Amino acid sequence: MLLNSSSPKAVVRLAVAALSYGLLANCSSLLDDHRPIGSPPNSQTRVQRAVDSVRTALEKDLGNSVPSLNLYIQTPTEKIFASSVPAGYFPITEATNFRFASNTKTFTSTAMLTMYQNGWLNYKAKITDNIPGTNTPYVPNTPEWDFPNKNEITIEQLLQHSAGVYDVDNDPVPGFNGLSYTAFVQDAEPNHQFTTEEMVGQLVKHKLKYDFSPGTGYHYSNTGYSILGYIIARVYSLKSGSTKTYEDYLQDFVVGPATKVPLALRFPVLASDTKMPVPFLGGNERLPGKTPIIFGDYNMSAQVAEGNGYGTPVSLNTFIRTLMKGENVLKPETVKLMQSDVNLKSQNTYALGCFYTKNLGFGHNGERCGTLSLAMYDPATDVSVVAFINLVDKTRGGETQGSTFAMCFNAIYGAAYGGRAALGYPGRP
């Protein structure tokens, strides 16, 4: 997780964008309720009240303001968006772009499994095996890629976080003042163009790995997903006969105009590709003893394939809903592979780029640039949710149970469960 501030130019752009859609305008956070006197509240009002309740409770727990808490929920018969903001602020709209961070991992898994459907790769293969129909391995057979346990790791294990690949994006790396490699470099050089090769280079240089053999344990690893993004670009480049990127493949085969369910979603790979289109929601991060950080424009090149996605709640909801229903680029039988090894009786069991949570279903969550988000589809009720908050508060307790971070994280789940319950569906277990 990066704890970097955005540039002054980015902060100015954020303020301009906020003004453009009225975030700083003076109005009530509650939507007008034009029901006849004495009639029961409608669906929109019930969901709005549920989200308002979670946000105001969070403000009380934090002893500080919460800029916005938002929920998009779709049932078999309704689509509802509720934005809760403090008095004096306009709610954001369902057309607002935001960075959805590690929800990107579900897109990476989708890309991998689409390639598998097309015979371009074998997700059960070792990453040292050759790409089907070629003499080229999935990752280079060079000293620069000779990281620990490389010869034993499969694509599937990377997807499941069971490969033991050390995460140089979240965990401390020797020589960087107790910071992760990406955090240290981006603090020093905000416009640095990151590559997978340089992150893998840290694994090689310091012989970094987690303390289990591939396939025998679990440790969340953004770096493992960066390697998956590298493989996607490498396979697509070979198949197309020209240099392609991770985003090229997603636009051409997963979300772009020519795909089965076209969606306005982006996955920047260049350090210069920092801007989201207006309207967009900037993130806020609070750290102990420091001035709060406001995130606007941001270099996402360190997060390719693991956390670089952005878009609107409508688009993200459409993706997770159609994907998990077998109505998008993956066939229903391939969706079952994505959900493989998930025990529906347990909480948060990780499969291939997604996990299962009771009464929310299959999907992912994410944290990046002062924003927390959640995108889930529940096959038992045919209800999908996208919840997000543009606040990451780390002022007390780090990321432990009961910390201010955990309170913010729990709020997106509270909004999702609360919205479901408001519409008569099972809420928090």
Render each residue's pLDDT in the chain as its tens digit; 429 residues: 333 333 333 333 333 233 223 333 333 333 344 444 555 789 999 999 999 999 999 999 999 999 999 999 999 999 999 999 999 999 999 999 999 999 999 999 999 999 999 999 999 999 999 999 999 999 999 999 999 999 999 999 999 999 999 999 999 999 999 999 999 999 999 999 999 999 999 999 999 999 999 999 999 999 999 999 999 999 999 999 999 999 999 999 999 999 999 999 999 999 999 999 999 999 999 999 999 999 999 999 999 999 999 999 999 999 999 999 999 999 999 999 999 865 545 454 799 999 999 999 999 999 999 999 999 999 999 999 999 999 999 999 999 999 999 999 999 999 999 999 999 999 999
Are residues 134 and 184 located together in one domain of the fold? yes
pLDDT of residue 7: 37
**Residues 171 and 203 both lie in one domain:** yes
Please give the single-letter amino acid code of residue 1. M
**229 shares its domain with 142:** yes
Residue 40 Cα to chain centre, angstroms = 36
Residue 5 has what pLDDT?
A: 33
Among 387, 340, 333, smallest CA distance to 365 is for 387
Burial class of residue 145 in the structure, from the number of CB atoms within 10 Å of its CB (0-12 exposed, 13-18 middle, 19+ buried): buried
Out of 217, 244, 269, pick the residue that ends a domain.
269
The whole model's pTM is what? 0.91
Calpha distance 415→418 (Å, rounded) = 5
Structure tokens at 10: 């980015």
Residues 109, 296: Cα–Cα separation, whole Å:
28
Q: Both 127 and 12 in a single domain? A: no
Domain that holds residue 419: 1-99+273-303+307-429
Burial environment of residue 336 by CB neighbours within 10 A (0 to 12, 13 to 18, 19 or more): exposed
191 and 175 in a common domain? yes
Positive or negative: CA dihedral 53, 24, 406, 366: positive
State how many domains the chain has. 2
338, 289: one domain: yes
Please list, in sequence order, all residues whose beta carbon lies within 8 angstroms of the beta carbon of residue 120, skipping any fewer than 6 positions away: 131, 132, 235, 239
Residues 190 and 222 in one domain: yes
Please answer whether residues 100 and 389 qualify as being in contact, where contact means their C-beta atoms are separated by less than 8 angstroms.
no
Beta bridge partners of residue 284, listed in sequence order: 294
111 and 253, same domain (yes or no): yes
Phi (first) and psi of residue 327, to 5 degrees: -110, 10
- The single-letter code of the amino acid at 126 is K
Question: Residue 108's Cα: distance from chain center in Å?
Answer: 11
| Same domain flag for 217 and 229 | yes
Q: How far lies 82's CA from each of 44, 260, 329, 416, in Å? A: 7, 28, 29, 11
Residues 138 and 259 in one domain: yes
**Domain CATH number, residue 224:** 3.40.710.10
Same domain, 263 and 346: no
137 and 177 belong to one structural domain:
yes
